[in-house]
Chains A and B, each alone.
Chain A
Amino acid sequence: MKINKKAKHFAAIVVAFAAVAVACMEIKSINIDQPQPDGTMAPTIQAGETATFVLGCELNANTDVPEGRKLIVGMLAPRDWNIAKNCTMSAQASAGLDPEVIHEMKVIPNSTQPRNMPGRTWPEALMERFGLGPNRYNDMEWVAWEAVEAVPITNGDKFVYDVTIKCKTGASNLKTCLGFVINHNDDGLSQDDKHFKYAFSDLFTVHGGEGEEIDYTKVRFNSVIPSRALQNDLVTFTFNGDAFDNGLIESNQDIYFRGTAVTQEGNRYNGEPKLMPRENTFTHIYNCTLWPMKYFRDVLPEGETLIAIEYEYTNADGSIKLNKLEEEIISGGTPSDELQENPRYRFNFRCD
């Protein structure tokens, strides 16, 4: 990988793109075009703002395709961003095609399957084929876009074009490596890597939003999937005891999830401690999946609205705890006053 040092852009990655059956396509660069208050570009953005990513592509045709081909671009991002809804994509040529024409792209519906990975939706196929890259936290999703119109191709054509992706970021503070894939409709994710190429960006940061920053590329004590959920979802809480040395694992006892309902009315109600099964004997990963409506059914008074869960991981009698404050101390951070006051993790119910 080479770093593309454009003067006013934060350069991410350059990926060589090999020949496809009908044409040779190449991603020249992936630029994260994010202006900062001081006028420089950096891979960081305020939560809820719109980030711009530009894939520089090149296509050299070595055959005629009169019926044309449709460009397909896949993107991997945190589910918190809801990219199918909050991103737009378009392609614009600088050579070979009319540079005035903006080629619109649309999300491929789940009823359309990749030609060479039948039985799967595009998001499923992209996840199966390309995975999460450098990310370790799997609450991410792939989504694929396709050009609305096919571009006819003549032998000897050379198209140079940019795919511009504009994404309204989510509300959560995070760091992640975004993934990008380029393919075309005639290929549909074949096994021949001459037909597609993919790349993951360097770390991209969302700041100034809700909650503690989640670094998707690092192992942490606590994770919640899905990151966007309501009271009627099934929510999985995972305690990864291998993230750092800690007293809870060293005590060699059963591990419990202790959740407290936080209501819109400003009250808190404790749920019953729930035993967390260990995933396997090789790691110290424990998780439990809750239906919050059921977990708090016996303690939540009629008429009160559940808006969040505060929680921590403990031993059976609650004398040893692992919460956000403990995590901050163990991982070498400086706990805020707010955290000293309320040391538990918090999960807010929300969809956007």
Chain B
Amino acid sequence: MASLGLLVVSCDSYKDKEANPDDLVEGDKNFAGEWRIASVKRNTIDITESLKDDLPDFRLHMNADGSYRLANGMPFPVEEDGLWSVDDPKHPFVLSFTENNAVGAVDVEITYPIVKGERQMSITHFPGCDANKYEYLLVRVK
């Protein structure tokens, strides 16, 4: 009888944990913060080491109010400060920068892995020739 009771309890508890897809709410991805470049790949080859004098000059401040500020010691899709947004707050694929006084936005493809509990942001862009692809891995400045 005791074992049957346990079984019932365990079944109940299992049922309680069963996920209802409607109850799952995916949170918005948070990109606000001060970002630095942790690594750079050019045409898939890592060139971070050869840029170690330049990387500290780069900062991207993405503010929660939608504005951004750039200290661009590195080539970047935009040069001037302005406004940022994402195409979908829950599952963003594209990060858009609109420079102050600019007519259109500049879109960049992003991925945003979580590594050791910290969100990172990978930006792919082509600041020079179209044949030269750059992947910047950005991490938040602590």
Contacts and interface: CB of A to CB of B under 8 A. Distances in A.
Interface of A: 79, 82, 123-124, 127, 138, 141, 226, 228-234, 236, 277, 287-289, 291, 293-294, 351
A288 B50 contact: yes
Nearest to B40: A234
Given A233-B75, A234-B40, A234-B75, A79 B131 contact: yes
Size category of the binding interface on chain B: 10 to 19
A288 B54 CA distance: 11
Contacts of A229: 128-129, 132
Contacts of A127: 44
B31 interface: no
Label chain B's interface by main secondary structure.
Answer: loop
B42 interface: yes
A234 B51 contact: yes
A132 to B, nearest CB: 12
B66 interface: no
Contacts of B45: 138
B131 A234 contact: no
B128 A232 contact: yes
B5 to A, nearest CB: 49
A226 B126 CA distance: 13
B74 interface: yes
B78 to A, nearest CB: 12
A82 B131 contact: yes
Nearest to B47: A289
Nearest to B49: A277
Contacts of A293: 75
Contacts of A234: 40, 42, 47, 51, 74-75, 134
Contact of B130 (A124, A141, A289, A351): A351
A287 B54 contact: no
Contacts of A294: 54, 73
